[in-house]
Structures are given as structure tokens and as C-alpha cells.
Amino acid sequence: MALDKGSFSKTGDLEPMEGSHLPISLIWGAFLREEYNEEELAKSWQRALLERKLALQSEGILAQGSPIHVADVAIGTGFGILRTIDLLQQSHPDEFVWWCSDGSQNMIEACRKETQRLNLSLQFWLKTWHELGDDHELQNRFHFVLCRGSSINYVLGWEEGGGPEERSRWIEAVLTSAQSFFRIITPGGEMYIDVTTQEQLDTERDECNCVVDIEGVRHQLHEVVIRKEAPPDDTPGFTPGSSTGFMREWTTRVAIGEVSYPPSTRKSLHLPHQELITILESVGFQQVKRESVRGEQYTGFFFKKPKK
């Protein structure tokens, strides 16, 4: 089972905190370097973005000599992508203009710390996905938009109580988010979204236990995810049957040294790949390509916004 994206900077960021739960950014952060090869991931994205830049130039979407404007709308703690930005700034300075956002203040703060560690100069915006499309300064602005880490499946997962029960509300939120993504991409530009693999979607119960030693302190994360049939819902959904299907429920336990935190539970959307494609095509995206990036643990899709 793949862990969510994130990173950690030092053990001090993981000290026991008041309250019953750790911030989201810290729950995941310390474990991902155990699961991913960040350097390989960053080099893969470096190659992928350079290829996209050349393709946009050949299609006449991006003028020769002009920088490509890239948005990461689920930057999280910046795991993988900040190292990618670092590599691109070294190899192709001034050719990429980055805009980074997240809907979580905890994630933004963790990402800012990692940015300082890498000596990068970046700005971050605290924005939910539906806010992106309403910002007139962002409309038709970006040549390429990233939404990594299977983030779309958690579109409502950080709400109080771990997200609503009604599956139709999740589908409507994905649709609204897709509309926002479409608005901020320049005509002819592209969108990348990755999601849970079909193999994991088909699994009724999955479990992950990860233990890492950080500066002599034992950190343990134990996750169980269960596929559950969504309860009956009379709310009109995006398409007939969108209110029926499955949700995924996650139970997470974290222990740091001798301190064990109470378990936290959240939901995520069980989103079959074809349903995602149907939603994105409904808002205007075309030329869907399934193309995972080397080093990622999710299934990736590239979508094109038509030229005017």
C-alpha cells in the first residue's frame, strides 16, 4: 500500500503536540523516504516536464524562449517535486515559472521549511481547489498543472469527521475541482492527475506498517484501509449511479518513541479510473493518456485542454 506524499526536515518537527492528533503533514512526512526513492522520482519528473515543454513548443502553445508556467495544486510538503524544481533550476534556469498551492496550512508550513532547506525561492498559496477557478488572475494562466499523490481521492477527506458519508457529495466535489483545473490551464495546456491503482481499488482490505529510525528515535505508522459500500443516498449525483459504489476508510496509528497517539479515521473516495476520466472529459478535457511517471506509486493520467 502506498503512503501519501510528504517529507520531514528534522525530528524536532515531530515532537509530541497538544491535542489528540498530529498535524496531517507530520503524520505522513517521516515515513515516505522509506517508501520512495526521492532522487529517482525527482529526475523522472525533471525529464517529464522537459518533454512537456518541448511538446508545447512544437505545438505552438509555448513560444520559443518563453518560460513554461507550471502549477502544483496539491503541493503537500513538497516531497519529490521540490527536488524536481531544484534540479530544473540548476539545469534549465529561468525556463520554468512555478506556482504552488495546497488547501492545508500544515502542509504549506512543512513545504516552506523544506524549501528553505533546499535554498529555493518559492511562494505558496493556501487555496482549495474550488477557489482556484474563481481567481481571475489564475484563469488560463498555466501551461501545465499537477495534482499528485492521489490527492483527488481525498477532496473532502480533511473535513471534520473525516468527510461526508454521501458518495455523491464527493463526486460533485471532484467535478467542481475538475472545472477549476480546466479554468486555470491555458488553451492547449495539460493536466496531470494520479490516483490509487486499480489493484488497490479492488482490494477490500489493505494494511501498511512502516517503522523508521530518525536521529535515534523510533517512529512507527500503522495504517489499515477498508473498502466499504457507500450508504444509500438520494442526492442527485453527477451521473446515474454516482451516489452508489464504494468509499475507502483509513485508520491510522502513530507512535513516536514512547508516545502513542490516538487513532485517527478519515475517508477517501473509491474512484474507478473510468469514472475519473468521464468527469474530466465532461468539463472539456481531451486526449486522455494513461502514463505513470517512473518512481510514482500511483496510476497517472495526462489530460489536454483543447486549443481555442
pLDDT in tens, 253-306: 888 788 888 888 889 999 999 999 999 999 999 999 999 899 999 999 999 999
Please report whether residue 286 resides in a domain.
Answer: yes
Distance CA 159, CA 115 (A): 27
CATH of the domain at 107: 3.40.50.150
What is the β-pairing status of strands 246-256 and 264-269?
A: antiparallel
Please report whether residue 243 resides in a domain.
Answer: no
Q: At what angle do helices 167-184 and 273-282 cross, to 10 degrees?
A: 50
Q: For the chain, what's the residue count?
A: 308
Please report whether residue 248 resides in a domain.
Answer: no
Whole-number pLDDT of residue 241: 44
Whole-number pLDDT of residue 5: 39
Whole-number pLDDT of residue 174: 96
Query: What contacts 24+ positions apart, CB below 8 Å, involve 111-120?
Result: 111/75, 111/76, 111/77, 111/78, 111/82, 113/9, 113/13, 114/7, 114/9, 114/77, 114/78, 114/82, 115/78, 115/82, 117/9, 118/82, 118/83, 118/86, 120/82, 120/85, 120/86, 120/89
Please report whether residue 285 resides in a domain.
Answer: yes
Average the pLDDT over 101-114 and give the result: 88
Please report whether residue 221 resides in a domain.
Answer: no
Distance CA 4, CA 150 (A): 8
Q: Is the pLDDT of residue 28 over 70?
A: no
Distance CA 207, CA 223 (A): 6
Please report whether residue 218 resides in a domain.
Answer: no
Please report whether residue 141 resides in a domain.
Answer: yes
Write the pLDDT tens digit of every residue in 173-211.
999 999 999 999 999 999 999 999 999 999 999 998 888
Please report whether residue 92 resides in a domain.
Answer: yes
Total number of domains in the chain: 1
Average the pLDDT over 26-52 and give the result: 86
Average the pLDDT over 208-217 and give the result: 80
* Position 23 confidence tier, pLDDT thresholds 50, 70, 90: low
Whole-number pLDDT of residue 22: 53
- Structural domain span for residue 142: 11-196+272-304
- Residue 273 backbone class (left: φ over 0; alpha: ψ -120 to 50; beta: rest): alpha
Distance CA 243, CA 95 (A): 44
